[in-house]
Protein backbone atom coordinates (compact mmCIF):
# COMPACT_ATOMS: atom_id res chain seq x y z
CA UNK A 1 0.00 0.00 0.00
CA UNK A 2 2.80 2.39 0.94
CA UNK A 3 4.60 1.47 -2.27
CA UNK A 4 1.52 2.42 -4.30
CA UNK A 5 1.21 5.74 -2.49
CA UNK A 6 4.91 6.47 -3.02
CA UNK A 7 4.61 5.61 -6.73
CA UNK A 8 1.62 7.92 -7.15
CA UNK A 9 3.37 10.75 -5.35
CA UNK A 10 6.46 10.42 -7.51
CA UNK A 11 4.72 10.06 -10.88
CA UNK A 12 1.80 12.41 -10.46
CA UNK A 13 2.08 16.05 -9.56
CA UNK A 14 -1.52 17.10 -9.87
CA UNK A 15 -2.58 19.21 -6.91
CA UNK A 16 -5.94 17.45 -6.54
CA UNK A 17 -4.24 14.08 -6.12
CA UNK A 18 -2.04 15.46 -3.37
CA UNK A 19 -5.09 16.90 -1.63
CA UNK A 20 -6.94 13.59 -1.83
CA UNK A 21 -3.98 11.65 -0.44
CA UNK A 22 -3.42 14.10 2.37
CA UNK A 23 -7.13 13.99 3.23
CA UNK A 24 -7.05 10.19 3.30
CA UNK A 25 -3.99 10.19 5.57
CA UNK A 26 -5.63 12.68 7.93
CA UNK A 27 -8.87 10.68 7.97
CA UNK A 28 -7.06 7.42 8.73
CA UNK A 29 -5.02 9.09 11.47
CA UNK A 30 -8.12 10.57 13.10
CA UNK A 31 -9.88 7.19 12.92
CA UNK A 32 -6.96 5.45 14.63
CA UNK A 33 -6.85 8.16 17.30
CA UNK A 34 -10.60 7.97 17.99
CA UNK A 35 -10.60 4.19 18.41
CA UNK A 36 -7.48 4.38 20.58
CA UNK A 37 -9.24 6.89 22.84
CA UNK A 38 -12.36 4.71 23.03
CA UNK A 39 -10.26 1.71 24.04
CA UNK A 40 -8.41 3.77 26.67
CA UNK A 41 -11.65 5.14 28.15
CA UNK A 42 -13.16 1.64 28.32
CA UNK A 43 -10.11 0.34 30.18
CA UNK A 44 -10.13 3.24 32.65
CA UNK A 45 -13.86 2.87 33.37
CA UNK A 46 -13.49 -0.87 33.87
CA UNK A 47 -10.54 -0.37 36.23
CA UNK A 48 -12.42 2.32 38.18
CA UNK A 49 -15.46 0.05 38.55
CA UNK A 50 -13.28 -2.81 39.80
CA UNK A 51 -11.54 -0.52 42.31
CA UNK A 52 -14.88 0.79 43.61
CA UNK A 53 -16.19 -2.75 43.92
CA UNK A 54 -13.07 -3.82 45.82
CA UNK A 55 -13.36 -0.85 48.18
CA UNK A 56 -17.01 -1.62 48.83
CA UNK A 57 -16.16 -5.28 49.47
CA UNK A 58 -13.49 -4.27 52.00
CA UNK A 59 -15.92 -1.97 53.82
CA UNK A 60 -18.51 -4.75 53.86
CA UNK A 61 -16.01 -7.21 55.33
CA UNK A 62 -15.01 -4.74 58.05
CA UNK A 63 -18.68 -4.06 58.80
CA UNK A 64 -19.34 -7.81 59.10
CA UNK A 65 -16.36 -8.16 61.45
CA UNK A 66 -17.82 -5.52 63.76
CA UNK A 67 -21.22 -7.21 63.74
CA UNK A 68 -19.73 -10.65 64.44
CA UNK A 69 -17.66 -9.17 67.27
CA UNK A 70 -20.86 -7.81 68.81
CA UNK A 71 -22.55 -11.20 68.44
CA UNK A 72 -19.70 -13.00 70.19
CA UNK A 73 -19.60 -10.42 72.97
CA UNK A 74 -23.31 -11.00 73.64
CA UNK A 75 -22.84 -14.79 73.57
CA UNK A 76 -19.85 -14.54 75.92
CA UNK A 77 -21.81 -12.40 78.39
CA UNK A 78 -24.64 -14.95 78.35
CA UNK A 79 -22.19 -17.82 78.84
CA UNK A 80 -20.58 -16.09 81.82
CA UNK A 81 -24.02 -15.70 83.35
CA UNK A 82 -24.82 -19.37 82.78
CA UNK A 83 -27.75 -18.57 80.48
CA UNK A 84 -27.38 -21.57 78.16
CA UNK A 85 -30.97 -21.53 76.95
CA UNK A 86 -30.78 -17.86 76.00
CA UNK A 87 -27.58 -18.52 74.02
CA UNK A 88 -29.37 -21.17 71.94
CA UNK A 89 -32.32 -18.83 71.33
CA UNK A 90 -29.97 -15.99 70.35
CA UNK A 91 -28.10 -18.15 67.82
CA UNK A 92 -31.40 -19.47 66.43
CA UNK A 93 -32.57 -15.89 65.87
CA UNK A 94 -29.39 -15.13 63.90
CA UNK A 95 -29.81 -18.27 61.77
CA UNK A 96 -33.42 -17.37 61.02
CA UNK A 97 -32.35 -13.93 59.82
CA UNK A 98 -29.65 -15.34 57.54
CA UNK A 99 -31.93 -18.00 56.07
CA UNK A 100 -34.54 -15.43 54.99
CA UNK A 101 -32.25 -14.20 52.20
CA UNK A 102 -31.70 -16.19 49.02
CA UNK A 103 -27.97 -16.98 49.13
CA UNK A 104 -26.56 -15.88 45.79
CA UNK A 105 -22.96 -16.97 45.29
CA UNK A 106 -22.60 -14.59 42.34
CA UNK A 107 -23.55 -11.57 44.49
CA UNK A 108 -21.98 -12.03 47.93
CA UNK A 109 -21.77 -8.27 48.53
CA UNK A 110 -25.45 -7.71 47.80
CA UNK A 111 -26.43 -10.72 49.91
CA UNK A 112 -24.35 -9.60 52.89
CA UNK A 113 -25.81 -6.09 52.59
CA UNK A 114 -29.34 -7.51 52.81
CA UNK A 115 -28.45 -9.69 55.81
CA UNK A 116 -26.99 -6.67 57.63
CA UNK A 117 -30.10 -4.58 56.94
CA UNK A 118 -32.36 -7.45 58.01
CA UNK A 119 -30.62 -7.72 61.37
CA UNK A 120 -30.91 -3.95 61.95
CA UNK A 121 -34.60 -3.99 60.99
CA UNK A 122 -35.26 -7.01 63.22
CA UNK A 123 -34.06 -4.99 66.21
CA UNK A 124 -36.84 -2.51 65.38
CA UNK A 125 -39.48 -5.24 65.10
CA UNK A 126 -39.55 -5.33 61.29
CA UNK A 127 -39.14 -8.57 59.32
CA UNK A 128 -37.56 -8.38 55.84
CA UNK A 129 -37.90 -11.20 53.31
CA UNK A 130 -35.97 -11.23 50.04
CA UNK A 131 -36.42 -13.04 46.73
CA UNK A 132 -33.71 -12.68 44.09
CA UNK A 133 -34.43 -13.61 40.47
CA UNK A 134 -31.46 -11.91 38.83
CA UNK A 135 -27.70 -12.52 38.77
CA UNK A 136 -26.84 -8.77 38.54
CA UNK A 137 -23.86 -9.77 36.37
CA UNK A 138 -24.50 -6.87 33.97
CA UNK A 139 -25.07 -4.27 36.65
CA UNK A 140 -23.42 -0.93 35.88
CA UNK A 141 -21.88 0.97 38.81
CA UNK A 142 -22.85 -1.77 41.31
CA UNK A 143 -21.54 0.14 44.33
CA UNK A 144 -23.74 3.15 43.57
CA UNK A 145 -26.76 0.92 42.91
CA UNK A 146 -26.24 -1.02 46.17
CA UNK A 147 -26.00 2.20 48.17
CA UNK A 148 -29.18 3.59 46.59
CA UNK A 149 -31.02 0.34 47.32
CA UNK A 150 -29.76 0.40 50.93
CA UNK A 151 -30.95 3.99 51.43
CA UNK A 152 -34.38 3.20 49.94
CA UNK A 153 -34.68 0.16 52.21
CA UNK A 154 -33.71 2.19 55.27
CA UNK A 155 -36.27 4.83 54.26
CA UNK A 156 -39.06 2.24 54.22
CA UNK A 157 -37.87 0.68 57.47
CA UNK A 158 -38.18 4.12 59.08
CA UNK A 159 -41.56 4.62 57.38
CA UNK A 160 -42.80 1.25 58.66
CA UNK A 161 -41.70 2.12 62.20
CA UNK A 162 -44.28 4.92 62.27
CA UNK A 163 -47.14 2.64 61.18
CA UNK A 164 -49.33 1.32 63.99
CA UNK A 165 -49.70 -2.39 63.31
CA UNK A 166 -49.22 -5.70 65.09
CA UNK A 167 -46.82 -7.02 62.46
CA UNK A 168 -44.30 -5.19 60.32
CA UNK A 169 -42.95 -6.89 57.20
CA UNK A 170 -41.12 -5.74 54.09
CA UNK A 171 -40.80 -7.94 51.01
CA UNK A 172 -37.93 -7.38 48.58
CA UNK A 173 -37.88 -8.76 45.05
CA UNK A 174 -34.93 -8.39 42.68
CA UNK A 175 -35.69 -9.25 39.05
CA UNK A 176 -34.59 -8.43 35.52
CA UNK A 177 -35.79 -8.13 31.95
CA UNK A 178 -33.94 -7.58 28.69
CA UNK A 179 -32.92 -4.01 29.48
CA UNK A 180 -33.40 -3.36 33.22
CA UNK A 181 -32.75 -4.67 36.70
CA UNK A 182 -35.64 -4.03 39.09
CA UNK A 183 -35.45 -3.68 42.88
CA UNK A 184 -38.91 -3.70 44.47
CA UNK A 185 -39.59 -3.01 48.15
CA UNK A 186 -43.15 -3.76 49.29
CA UNK A 187 -44.82 -3.31 52.65
CA UNK A 188 -46.96 -6.28 53.65
CA UNK A 189 -50.26 -4.65 54.55
CA UNK A 190 -53.53 -6.07 55.85
CA UNK A 191 -55.06 -5.76 52.38
CA UNK A 192 -52.73 -8.52 51.12
CA UNK A 193 -50.87 -8.67 47.83
CA UNK A 194 -53.20 -6.70 45.58
CA UNK A 195 -51.76 -4.84 42.63
CA UNK A 196 -50.16 -1.53 43.49
CA UNK A 197 -50.31 1.64 41.41
CA UNK A 198 -46.82 2.88 40.41
CA UNK A 199 -46.45 6.66 40.42
CA UNK A 200 -43.28 8.34 39.23
CA UNK A 201 -44.20 11.87 40.23
CA UNK A 202 -46.49 11.56 43.25
CA UNK A 203 -43.85 10.63 45.81
CA UNK A 204 -44.34 10.89 49.58
CA UNK A 205 -42.82 13.83 51.40
CA UNK A 206 -41.60 15.69 48.31
CA UNK A 207 -39.81 18.12 50.60
CA UNK A 208 -37.86 15.31 52.28
CA UNK A 209 -34.15 16.00 51.75
CA UNK A 210 -33.27 12.30 51.90
CA UNK A 211 -35.67 11.44 49.08
CA UNK A 212 -34.48 14.35 46.98
CA UNK A 213 -30.87 13.18 47.25
CA UNK A 214 -31.86 9.60 46.39
CA UNK A 215 -33.80 10.79 43.32
CA UNK A 216 -30.83 12.86 42.19
CA UNK A 217 -28.46 9.89 42.45
CA UNK A 218 -30.90 7.67 40.54
CA UNK A 219 -31.18 10.30 37.82
CA UNK A 220 -27.39 10.38 37.48
CA UNK A 221 -27.48 6.62 36.80
CA UNK A 222 -30.28 7.13 34.23
CA UNK A 223 -32.48 4.95 36.44
CA UNK A 224 -36.17 5.16 37.29
CA UNK A 225 -37.97 5.35 40.64
CA UNK A 226 -41.66 4.65 41.16
CA UNK A 227 -43.56 4.83 44.43
CA UNK A 228 -46.24 2.16 44.79
CA UNK A 229 -49.69 3.01 46.16
CA UNK A 230 -52.94 1.24 46.97
CA UNK A 231 -55.39 4.07 46.86
CA UNK A 232 -53.71 6.79 48.91
CA UNK A 233 -51.62 4.39 50.98
CA UNK A 234 -47.90 4.11 50.25
CA UNK A 235 -47.00 0.42 50.06
CA UNK A 236 -43.56 0.39 48.46
CA UNK A 237 -41.26 1.49 45.67
CA UNK A 238 -39.74 0.17 42.45
CA UNK A 239 -36.18 1.13 41.54
CA UNK A 240 -35.08 0.28 37.99
CA UNK A 241 -31.61 0.66 36.50
CA UNK A 242 -30.36 -0.19 33.01
CA UNK A 243 -28.06 -3.08 32.24
CA UNK A 244 -24.45 -2.41 31.30
CA UNK A 245 -24.44 -3.82 27.80
CA UNK A 246 -21.41 -3.04 25.58
CA UNK A 247 -22.07 -0.95 22.52
CA UNK A 248 -21.94 -2.84 19.26
CA UNK A 249 -19.45 -1.58 16.66
CA UNK A 250 -19.45 -2.70 13.01
CA UNK A 251 -15.89 -3.93 13.48
CA UNK A 252 -13.88 -4.91 16.50
CA UNK A 253 -11.65 -2.18 17.94
CA UNK A 254 -8.76 -4.63 17.76
CA UNK A 255 -9.21 -4.65 13.97
CA UNK A 256 -8.23 -0.98 13.82
CA UNK A 257 -5.44 -1.05 16.43
Q: Write down the pLDDT at residue 192.
A: 54
Instruction: State whether residue 75 is helix, strand or coil.
Output: helix
Domain membership of residue 26 (yes or no) is: yes
Task: For residue 187, give the H/E element and its range.
Answer: strand 180-187
Q: 43 and 159 share a domain?
A: no
Domain membership of residue 65 (yes or no) is: yes
Domain membership of residue 248 (yes or no) is: no
Q: Write down the pLDDT at residue 238.
A: 93
Q: Give how many domains the chain has, as a whole number.
A: 2
Q: 15 and 45 share a domain?
A: yes
Of 131, 98, 130, 128, nearest in space to 115 by CA? 98
Q: 58 and 108 share a domain?
A: no
Last residue of a domain, one of 36, 53, 81: 81
Q: 17 and 111 share a domain?
A: no
Q: 170 and 199 share a domain?
A: yes
* Residue 215: CA count within 13 A, CB half-sphere: 16
Q: What is the end-to-end Cα distance of the chain in Å, rounded?
A: 17
Domain membership of residue 90 (yes or no) is: no
Q: 75 and 105 share a domain?
A: no
Q: Write down the pLDDT at residue 253.
A: 46
Containing structural domain, residue 16: 1-81
CATH number of the domain residue 238 falls in = 3.30.565.10
Domain membership of residue 230 (yes or no) is: yes
Q: 77 and 133 share a domain?
A: no
Which residues of the chain are under the pLDDT cut of 50?
A: 251-257
Q: 185 and 224 share a domain?
A: yes
Domain membership of residue 43 (yes or no) is: yes
Q: 47 and 131 share a domain?
A: no
Q: Write down the pLDDT at residue 60.
A: 65
Amino acid sequence: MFAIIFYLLVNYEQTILWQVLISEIVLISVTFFVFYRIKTVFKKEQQKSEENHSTYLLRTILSKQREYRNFFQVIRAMAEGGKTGEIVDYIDDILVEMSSVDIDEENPIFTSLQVAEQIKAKEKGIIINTTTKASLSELKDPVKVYNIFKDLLQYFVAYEENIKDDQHRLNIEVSEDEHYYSFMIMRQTQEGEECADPRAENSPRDGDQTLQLIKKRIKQLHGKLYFLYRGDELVGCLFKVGKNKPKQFPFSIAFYL
